[in-house]
Amino acid sequence: MQHAFIMDPLEGVKSWKDTTWFLMKACQERGHRVCYLDQRSLWLDHDQLYSKVQWVRTVDDRDHPFEIESEEVIALSQTDAVWLRTDPPFDRRYFYTTLLLDRLPASTRVLNQPQGVRNWNEKLAALEFPEFTPQTVISNSADEIKRFAEEQGKLTVKPVDGFGGKGIVFFELGDDETVLKQATHDGAHWVVAQEYLPEASAGDKRILMLEGKVLGGILRMHADGAELNNLDQGGSAHPVDLNDHDLKICAALTPKLREQGIFFVGIDIIGDKLIEVNVTSPTGLQELSRFHDKEYHHQIIAALE
């Protein structure tokens, strides 16, 4: 098989924790060819989607995790799988990338399906299942968020297109309201305001699912003196057992994930509440594989085979 990975620049990849690199490594170890491309290099010529690509090999070297074998322009229809693994935010460029990928024939599988990625905003998708989520308001109005704080007390506020813990702030009545004006860009941007969950101090669970089935979960814990558990914000990963309620949430998501063509997903749970559904470039696969001593990256590629 030939796999094309649309991802952020190779020089920024941290091979010791990067899920995309790990998936590419599994492809290579299973005898598949792997190429890298930047979404900016895509173009459509009538009914054919083309891109300049670099055929690469993964290397177990922190400083040089890839070897570039060759470069060429290809029609992506000649590949078997195209992995959409560019990190958020889901901006205009990301949106148009998904529209271009829609033009690929059924013989080339896109992971995750572009329509599903468009439909499932990572912050808002959880609200498909309100029985599992914290009390939430989506608004660009500082006054509306203040009203919500009167009901709920302390709030967690984050941009609807945020990622990796960026842009998250906390607010309760009596705090400087400037933080809300900054978060909403003076009313220009929507934010997600949710009741603050004290259980976050004990970490949050990232649960990885493949084709609607649970692979397992990791516990993300904040660094000393910090409040955010995100690994990109200095958090650390630890083993964790999933409980019956976690599995109940996953089971509720399964039909929708399959319906939307979401092949590989990461969901976030704090306490007993569903927080996010990560469909763009879910992470945590290397940590999960180490904790369970299983080759989950191979399991994912085997599912495609």
Of 247, 125, 239, 138, the C-alpha closest to 191 is 138
Cβ-Cβ contacts under 8 Å for 305 (sequence gap 6 or more): 1, 30
Q: What is the largest CA-CA distance in the chain?
A: 60
pTM for the model: 0.95
Domain count for the chain: 3
Average pLDDT over residues 219-237: 83
- Judgement on whether residues 203 and 281 belong to the same structural domain of the protein: yes
192: left (phi over 0), alpha (psi -120 to 50) or beta: beta
Q: Residue 220 is inside which H or E element, if any?
A: strand 213-221
- Domain assignment present for residue 125? The answer is no
Q: Residue 300 is inside which H or E element, if any?
A: helix 296-304
- Judgement on whether residues 145 and 160 belong to the same structural domain of the protein: yes
- Judgement on whether residues 185 and 261 belong to the same structural domain of the protein: no
pLDDT at 232: 74
- Judgement on whether residues 171 and 203 belong to the same structural domain of the protein: no
Report the 10 Å Cβ neighbour count for 145: 21
d(CA 209, CA 14): 23
Instruction: Give the domain-ending residue among 55, 76, 111.
Output: 111
pLDDT at 221: 93
**pLDDT confidence bin for 223, thresholds 50/70/90:** confident
Report the 10 Å Cβ neighbour count for 249: 21
- What range does the domain containing 107 cover? 2-111
- Judgement on whether residues 186 and 238 belong to the same structural domain of the protein: no
Cβ-Cβ contacts under 8 Å for 28 (sequence gap 6 or more): 34, 57, 58
For the stretch 52-94, pLDDT in tens is 999 999 999 999 999 999 999 999 999 999 999 999 889 999 9
Q: Where are the alpha helices (DSSP H) in 120-236?
A: 142-152, 178-183
- Domain assignment present for residue 119? The answer is no
- Domain assignment present for residue 259? The answer is yes
Cβ-Cβ contacts under 8 Å for 133 (sequence gap 6 or more): 126, 127, 194, 273, 274, 275
205 forms bridges with which residues in the sheet?
Answer: 219, 269
CATH number at residue 179: 3.30.1490.20
Average pLDDT over residues 170-199: 94
CATH number at residue 215: 3.30.470.20
- Judgement on whether residues 72 and 139 belong to the same structural domain of the protein: no
Provide, rounded to the nearest whole percent, the portion of the chain with pLDDT above 90. Answer: 92
- Judgement on whether residues 68 and 13 belong to the same structural domain of the protein: yes
d(CA 36, CA 13): 12
- Judgement on whether residues 177 and 219 belong to the same structural domain of the protein: no
Phi, psi of 247 (to 5 degrees): -70, -30
55 forms bridges with which residues in the sheet?
Answer: 35, 70
Residue type for position 229: N
For the stretch 247-292, pLDDT in tens is 999 999 999 999 999 999 999 999 999 999 999 999 999 999 999 9
**pLDDT confidence bin for 166, thresholds 50/70/90:** confident
Provide, rounded to the nearest whole percent, the portion of the chain with pLDDT above 70. Answer: 100
pLDDT at 230: 77
Confirm if 67 and 57 have CB atoms less than 8 A apart.
yes
- Domain assignment present for residue 220? The answer is yes
Tokens of 289: 């594989």
pLDDT at 64: 96
pLDDT at 210: 98
Of 171, 111, 164, 155, the C-alpha closest to 276 is 164
Tokens of 167: 């842009």
